[in-house]
Structure 1
Amino acid sequence: MEIGFIGLGSMGSAMARNLVAAGHRVRAWNRSGGAIEGVAMLGAPAEAFDADAVMTMLSDDAAIRSVILDAGVLAAARPGLTNVVCSTISVAFARELAAAHERAGIGFVSAPVLGRPDVAAKGGLNVLVGGAPAAIDHVRPLLEAIGSRIWPLGDEAAAANAAKIAVNMMIAMAIEAMAEAVVLTEANGLPRAAFFELILGTLFGSRPYQSYSANIAAGSYAPGFKAELGLKDLRLAREAAGSAGRTLPMLDAAHARMAEAVAAGWGQLDWSAIAKFTLESGSRLGSAPAERLSA
Structure 2
Amino acid sequence: MSEEFKLGDLVWAKLKGCPPWPGIIAKPKLHVKKPPKKTGVQWIKFFGSNDFAWIDDINIKPYLEFKEQLADSIKKASFKKAVREIELYIEKKKNDPEFDPEKDEDEEEGKDEFDKLKEEEKEEVKTPKKRKDSGVKKERSSSTTKVAAKKRRLDDSEENGATSSFTSNHVSNRSYQELLDRPSILDVPHSPTIDINNVSESFKSKKIEASKSRFGFIGLGIMGTEIVKNLINSGHRINLWNRSSRKAEEIKAQSEVNHAGLVEVYPAPCDVVENSDIIFCCVSDPAAAMHVVYGNCGILHNRISLEGKGYVEMTTIDSETSMDICNMITDIGGRYLEAQLQGSKLEASEGNLIVLGAGDKSLFDDCNSCFKAISHTAYYLSGVGFATKMNLVIQVIKSVALAGLAEAFALADRSGVTPKDVLEVLTLTNISNPYLQRKAKMIVETDFQTVEHPLQHMQKDTKLALQLADTLKQPLPMTAMANEIYKHTRRFGCDSHDASSVYMRTRH
Corresponding residue for residue 308 of structure 2: 80
Give the match for residue 45 of structure 1.
269
Amino acid paired to 2:238: V
Which letter does structure 2 place at the counterpart of 1:179? A
> What is aligned with 1:6?
218
The alignment partner of 1:169 has SS state of helix
Q: Determine which of 420, 434, 440 is the counterpart of 1:207.
A: 434
Instruction: Report the residue type matching 1:58 in the other structure.
Output: V
Q: Do structure 1's residue 109 and structure 2's residue 337 form an aligned pair?
A: yes
2:376 is aligned to 148
Q: Give, as a single letter, the amino acid of the residue that structure 2 aligns with 1:162.
A: K
Identity across matched positions, percent: 25
**Cα gap change, 1:228 to 1:134, in 2 (>3 Å):** same
Partner AA of 2:469 in structure 1: A
The letter for the 1-side match of 2:299 is: V
With the length of structure 1 as denominator, give the TM-score of the two structures.
0.89
Match of 1:160 in 2: 387
After superposition, the Cα gap between the structure-2 partners of 1:2 and 1:237, relative to the gap in structure 1 and judged at 3 Å, is same
Alignment of 1:35-74 (within 5 A): 35=249, 36-37=251-252, 38=255, 39-50=263-274, 51-71=276-296, 73-74=299-300
**Structure showing greater Rg:** 2
Q: Quick check: 1:4–1:53 contact (8 Å CA) kept in 2? A: yes
Aligned ranges 1:120-269 → 2 under 5 Å: 120-154=348-382, 156-222=383-449, 223-269=451-497
Partners of 2:440 and 2:379 lie apart in 1 by 27
List per-residue Cα deviations over 1:156-215 (Å, max 9, x = no partner).
222111222222222121121112222333444432222222222112221221110111
Name segments (4+ residues, structure 1) moved above 4 Å. none
What are structure 1's unaligned runs of at least 5 residues? 281-295
Structure 2 unmatched ranges of 5 or more: 1-212, 256-262
Question: How far off is 1:43 after superposition?
Answer: 1.4
- Once residues 221 and 305 of structure 2 are traced to their aligned partners in structure 1, the CA distance between those partners, rounded to angstroms, is 23
| Contact persistence 1:54–1:83 (CA under 8 A) | yes
Report the alpha carbon displacement of residue 76 of structure 1 after superposing the two structures with TM.
Answer: 1.0
State whether residues 306 and 332 of structure 2, in contact with CA within 8 Å, keep that contact through their aligned partners in structure 1.
Answer: no
Mapped contact 1:11–1:117 kept (Cα < 8 A): yes
Q: What is the distance in 1 between the residues matched to 2:442 and 2:483? A: 20
- Give the secondary-structure state (helix, strand or coil) at the position aligned to 1:267: coil
Task: Tell me the TM-score normalized by structure 2.
Answer: 0.53
Residues 1:93 and 1:220: Cα distance change in structure 2 (over 3 Å):
same
Report the counterpart of residue 245 of structure 2 in structure 1.
33
SS of aligned partner of 2:452: coil
What RMSD, in angstroms, separates the aligned Cα atoms of the two structures? 1.7
Amino acid at match of 1:43: P
Range that drifts further, 112-121 or 85-94: 112-121
Q: Deviations over 1:121-146 (max 9, x none)?
A: 22121111111222211222222221
Q: Indicate the residue corresponding to 1:287 in structure 2.
A: none
**Kept in 2: contact 1:49–1:77 (CA 8 A):** no
SS in 2 for 1:102: helix
Does structure 1 conserve the Cα–Cα contact (< 8 Å) formed by 2:306 and 2:333? no
**Cα pair 2:307 2:332 within 8 Å, conserved:** no
Paired AA for residue 114 in structure 1: Q
CA distance in 1, matches of 2:228, 2:493: 32
**Aligned partners of 1:181, 1:9: CA distance in 2, in Å?**
31
Q: Secondary structure at the match of 1:243?
A: helix
Larger RCO (CA within 8 A; separation ≥ 6): 1
Deviation track 1:197-249 (CA, whole Å, cap 9, x = no partner) reads: 22221122212211101111112211332212222111111111111121100
